[in-house]
Amino acid sequence: MTRAPGPPTAPGPPGAPRAARTSLTVLGIETSCDDTAVGVVRGRQVLSNVTSAQPVHWEYGGVVPELASRAHLELLLPALDAALAQARADWAAVDGIAVTRGPGLVGSLIVGVSTARALALAHGKDWLGVNHLEGHVWSVWGTDPGWAAPCVCLVASGGHTELLHVLGFGRYRLLGSTRDDAAGEAFDKAAQLLDLPYPGGPEVDRLARQGDPRAVNLPRALLREPGFEMSFSGLKTALRLFLERNPGLSAQGRADLAASFEAAVVDVLTAKTLAAAAHAGAPRIAVTGGVSLNTGLREAFARRAAAQGLQLAFPPPALCGDNGAMIALAGAERLAAGERSGDATSVEPSLDEMGFFEPV
Ligand code: KG4
Ligand code: ZN
């Protein structure tokens, strides 16, 4: 058997489809918040995805920025080794490095970007700073490598609730976002009020499965207003007031409350996303970010998208929350187009400063 000459590639997992030889093998580093994450992709095929959570924050009920940067320093090199080993790749097989440049916590971003730059220098690789939101948008390639614009993408996580009109790779218009708390933040705060452990989203999800979502009527802010702005802080307050007025709630009462809270968040997210798709004339919607793991949200989107004849995609579970593979996926696309970061490139904590969106 003769082999066609081509760039060095690492063997993929057994049974994985052979990627086109033009696909770059890219290592992605994500340290924008409290997950230390590294993934390796070849083109749009995920070869590995290693995410180390930072339990140090759990006792505080939220992320402590200084502790996050220190934890990234400890966790990043082991995560890098594990991601390369799981991809069965060595540095010779890596064509480039992608790293989250922003938005995020400044100290955490600095750890990721300085590590990427040092590795690029040491191993003679190209590197590129990537926008964290672009990683979330294209994380659906982990499910459907053929996923393409135009689409509307909801990014819902602990730090973001953004509705984007995706016109093409690299072309995004911001249609709406939350005015106050992010959807994941609302879940985490609800969990705290319900005395559930941090991070609370998955706990509220579990409890909600045993409850009646129509039991307690909670507010759905801006639901009937035109536009795509959202707000979740009033909902959190309503939950707190309900708990104050109903001390000694039974186990079933708590489950009903969790289900009612989840239903309120899900109603707003689905209604605004579907309205945005109709407004943009988009035939498909992508739902991404940590909150896209929510069971009720997935069910509601599946039902409502099907009713409107819209194509729907979620990332695979490992690519919903912050992860390195999504940064590698977006980075691979940009590196393949010839983009590189220069020596002067640094971190950018603020989304507004990143020039990510086209004017609507
Ligand atoms: O994307 P992600 O890992 O990190 C951020 O960028 O914040 O999202 C984490 C958020 C947390 O607020 C967490 O509570 C929420 O996603 N989350 C969930 C679920 N799993 C994670 N929220 C609701 N239901 C879930 N099953
Ligand atoms: Zn994120």
What averages of pLDDT result for each successive group of 10 residues across the chain (360 residues)?
34 41 88 96 98 91 92 97 98 98 97 97 97 98 98 96 98 98 96 92 98 98 97 98 97 98 98 98 98 98 98 98 98 97 90 92
Pairing of strands 45-53, 151-156: unpaired
What is the per-residue pLDDT for 61?
A: 80
What is the per-residue pLDDT for 22?
A: 66
β-sheet bridge partners, residue 42 = 25, 45
| Element of type H or E holding 130 | strand 126-131
Distance between CA atoms of 261 and 266, rounded to whole angstroms?
A: 9
- Among the listed residues 17, 40, 19, 9, the one whose alpha carbon sits nearest the alpha carbon of residue 325: 40
| Element of type H or E holding 129 | strand 126-131
Q: Name the residue at shortest CA distance from atom 13 of ligand 1.
A: 201
DSSP characters over 230-299: B--HHHHHHHHHHHHHS-S--HHHHHHHHHHHHHHHHHHHHHHHHHHHHHHT-SEEEEESGGGG-HHHHH
Q: Name the residue at shortest CA distance from atom 14 of ligand 1.
A: 201
Q: How far is the CA of 288 from the centre of ligand 2 (A)?
A: 9
CATH class of residue range 148-314: alpha beta
Q: Name the residue at shortest CA distance from atom 24 of ligand 1.
A: 294
Give the residue, out of 177, 269, 291, with the most ligand 1 atoms within 8 A of its beta carbon, to mutate for a pocket test.
Answer: 291
Q: How far is the CA of 59 from the centre of ligand 1 (A)?
A: 17
Query: What is the position in ligand 1's atom list of the atom closest to the CA of 323?
Result: 3
Structural contact between residues 174 and 223, judged by C-beta atoms closer than 8 angstroms: no
Q: How far is the CA of 356 from the centre of ligand 1 (A)?
A: 23
**Coil, strand or helix: which one is 302?**
helix
Query: What is the position in ligand 1's atom list of the atom closest to the CA of 295?
Result: 26
CA-to-CA dists, residue 8 to 4, 24, 39, 85, 242, angstroms? 11, 10, 18, 16, 61
Q: How far is the CA of 315 from the centre of ligand 1 (A)?
A: 13
Q: How far is the CA of 21 from the centre of ligand 1 (A)?
A: 36
Do the domains 148-314 and 2-137+322-354 match in fold? Answer: yes
Give the residue, out of 157, 232, 288, 351, with the most ligand 1 atoms within 8 A of its beta carbon, to mutate for a pocket test.
Answer: 157
Ligand 1 pocket list (CB less than 6 A):
33, 157-159, 184-185, 187-188, 199-202, 205, 289-291, 293-294, 321-322
Q: How far is the CA of 1 from the centre of ligand 2 (A)?
A: 45
Give the residue, out of 57, 293, 297, with the most ligand 1 atoms within 8 A of its beta carbon, to mutate for a pocket test.
Answer: 293
Query: What is the position in ligand 1's atom list of the atom closest to the CA of 320?
Result: 1
Closest listed ligand to the CA of 292 = 1
What is the per-residue pLDDT for 282?
A: 98
- What are the structural domain ranges in the chain? 2-137+322-354, 148-314
What is the per-residue pLDDT for 344?
A: 79
Predicted TM-score of the model (pTM): 0.93
CATH number of 2-137+322-354: 3.30.420.40
